[in-house]
Every structure is written in structure tokens, then in C-alpha cells.
Copies of this chain bind each other. A is one copy, B any other.
Amino acid sequence: MELKSQMRRMGVDARAAARELRGVSSDAKNAALLRIVAELNTRRDAIVAANQKDLSAAKESGMASAMLDRLTLTDAVIDGMAAGVAEVAAQEDPVGAVTEMKQRPNGLMVGRMRIPLGVIGFIYESRPNVTVDAAALCLKSGNAVILKGGSEAFHSNLVLGEVLRSALAATGLPEKAIQVVPTTDRQAVRELIGLTELVDLAIPRGGEGLIRFVAENARVPVLKHYKGVCHVFVDRSADLDRAEEICFNAKVQRPGVCNAMETLLVHQDTADRFLPAMITRFQQAGVELRGCPATCRIAPELTPAQASDWPAEFLDLVLAVRVVPDFPSALDHIDTHGSKHTEAIVTSDYSRARRFHAEVDASVVLVNASTRFNDGGQLGLGAEIGINTDKLHAFGPMGATELTTTKFIVFGEGQVRE
């Protein structure tokens, strides 16, 4: 079948499945999720075999070992997927909740009922376990999903799609509620994000190139973040031991992810006391530091930071360091160079903590905690399908609830408009 009509067919099938899902109970959705857990276990050999095909191809093409690691479905990774789905099954169902019910002066009762968005197009790269995570969140929230993974995980994603499909079939849910795009053709992405009447939302997750491609070519709404240029500001009044632990964790614990710190801002009254030990600790951990002039006066061996370092997302053991003269300068720096992703302050000052929370424009704003906590699981959403740094719909990590919306329901007894 021609790709265009194939993708449209998937969209039409997803739309029909989404309509069917509107009438499905929480119990039925949870039964399907638990069946996915069971099928992941019983089909373990088939999953590993398919994954081996991807791994062989990846090794032949010379994929770097860190990327190979991310692509590999070990028993532990499969256990992790299954545990994640079980956790989603155990979460509260966001769909159907009615809130803000109020009586109007004319006697109308008006409330808001939480409902699925409809059809999600999820476009992602590399780790095949994301296929199962995303499918579970979409099913939990009553959405149909079309999954387009990276070509490097093609065979893994196909077999996982088969696991998901058969779990739906076995529990009487519409099989087309979860569909894996059966091609590696990138043109399929373009078709998927052009299905305006069929797809309600596209979520791209992966490298900045993929995300820009989706954002710039989509004709359906897109939730995404391009990058995380996250700061920690060590204020004048900061507890310096605490500041050191937070900064070290934010940079070093997992430097390749979007919520890692990329620039450290230090109040000038603190710089002389704080920076020497902090710099030494970073250097011992192999972090390459790029300092502003004031930082380099404290540690002359550092590479001077370039203008291009301030808005940079290094995703690596690299850190820009800047000394700022005061609190407003820190806010200005974040406003100018931040990516609205994650921002943290370390302070003992009550009103600065409050102002930082109120005025910093980012999806997660932390006082005295590591930026690494911007994560759906860590913040209590249960799991996440992605992080959105546009402000529309959901700002920050998106869990099952963020894959829903509300409609107004009105209970009348014959009211008409005057």
C-alpha cells in the first residue's frame, strides 16, 4: 500500500479505536495493562530475538557503545518495562472525574468532565522500552496511539507492538488502540503529523533534530521541548554544603539528560567561599568547566566561557560557571539563556525563595533541590511520556492526566437562554 494511504488508514483506525475507548471502564483498561505485563514475560524470548536483529544491524553500522546500551533489551530492561506498566495500571484513572460542579443562578448544574484527547502520534528515537511506556500511558488515559520509533529499533518495536496488540485483543479492547508504524521510512513521520482530522496531538521525543522536524512540519498540535538549559543559582545566603551536593548531583549524576545543570550561577558574595571546593570536586569528577572572568580569577586554569556557552545544552560533563553581582542578575541570566525547562536556587532567604518560585519562567522551579527532579515519576505523576516547555496545555512533565482534557457537562431541566 502507498505510504500516504497506509498512514491515513492507521489514523482512521486509531480514530475509531479512540471512539470505542470512550466507553471503556477503568477496570477494562487496567485488565489490558496487566495483560501487557503478562505478555512481556511470556514473550521474552521473541522480544530478545527481535532486539538481536536490531543490535546486529547497529553494530554493523558502527553505532557507539553508549547508544548500543540504550538499544539493548536485557531481561532487566524487560522487567523494568513490565514493572512500569504495572505501576501505570495501579494509578488512578484520570478519565471521567467531574470537577468544579457548580449551580448557576438559573438552576443549571455545570461541571467539567475529564476526557481523553483522542489520538496521539508519538515519535521517538532509540530506546525501545519507550514504546511500552508510552503505549501504557496512552491506554490508561483512554487515548489511541500511533507509535513511530527510530529505525535502529525497528524490529524490537514491531515485536513489542505485537505484544501490545495481542494484550488488547485478549482483553476485548480495540486492537487498533495501539499501533506501531511498520516502516522505517521517515516520510511516515511527515504523513503522521499531517493527519489533521485524525491525530489530536503529536509528541516528539529524541534529539533536537527530530523535534525540530516534527515541530516545523506538523499540521497537528505538538507538545515538546527542544532542550534543557538548566541553571542552579547559589545565592548569597546559601548553605554551602547543601549547595555543593545539589550542584554536583545536578551536573554529574546523569549528565546526558535534559534536566542536568548546564550553567552554574553564583552570587558574588559567595563565590570566593563556594567556588574553590566546588571546582575541585567537579574537576575530580572529570567535568570540563568554562568560567566567566570572575570565575577564572578564582580558578585561573579554567577555560574562559564563550558567549555561545551560556545558551548551550552540553548534555555532557561540561559546565559553564558565572558569577553574578546580585539576585536580579541571576533572574536576568535565566530569563535570557534558560529554556523554560528546569531552574533551581539554593538559598536560605525566605523572600528570595518565594520570588524565585513566583518569577522564574520554567516548567519546574526548585528551591534547595537538584534539577534532576524534573521527571514525572519524581514529581508524583507516576510516569511521563515527555516534558513540554511550551506553556500550552501542560507545562513540564506529562503523565496520564496531561494526556487528557476536560469538557463541560451541563445538567438542565428545560432551561433556555433569555
Contacts and interface: CB of A to CB of B under 8 A. Distances in A.
Interface of A: 19, 22-23, 96, 102, 104, 108, 110, 113, 115, 117-118, 200-201, 221, 223, 239, 242, 245-246, 248-250, 253-254, 335, 353, 355, 357-359, 361-370, 372-374, 378-380, 390-397, 405-417
B365 A408 contact: yes
A358 B113 contact: yes
A200 B392 contact: yes
B253 A416 contact: yes
Nearest to A368: B412
B363 A407 contact: yes
A405 B380 contact: no
A359 B410 contact: no
Total copies of this chain within the assembly: 2
Contact of A380 (B102, B358, B361): B102
Interface centre among A200, A249, A362, A417 (most CB of B within 10 A): A417
A392 B405 contact: yes
Chief secondary structure at chain A's binding surface? mixed
Given A96-B358, A200-B392, A372-B417, A365 B410 contact: yes
Contacts of A411: 353, 367-369
A272 to B, nearest CB: 22
A40 B288 CA distance: 60
Given A104-B380, A357-B113, A412 B245 contact: no
Contacts of A96: 358
Closest 10 CB pairs of A and B: A369-B412, A249-B416, A372-B417, A242-B414, A368-B412, A366-B410, A393-B393, A364-B408, A391-B405, A370-B416
23 contacts: A19-B361, A22-B361, A96-B358, A110-B380, A115-B395, A117-B392, A200-B392, A223-B392, A245-B414, A249-B416, A249-B417, A254-B417, A361-B407, A363-B408, A364-B407, A364-B409, A366-B410, A367-B412, A368-B412, A368-B413, A372-B416, A393-B393, A394-B405
Given A23-B355, A372-B416, A392-B393, 7 more contacts: A200-B392, A221-B390, A239-B414, A242-B414, A369-B410, A378-B417, A391-B405
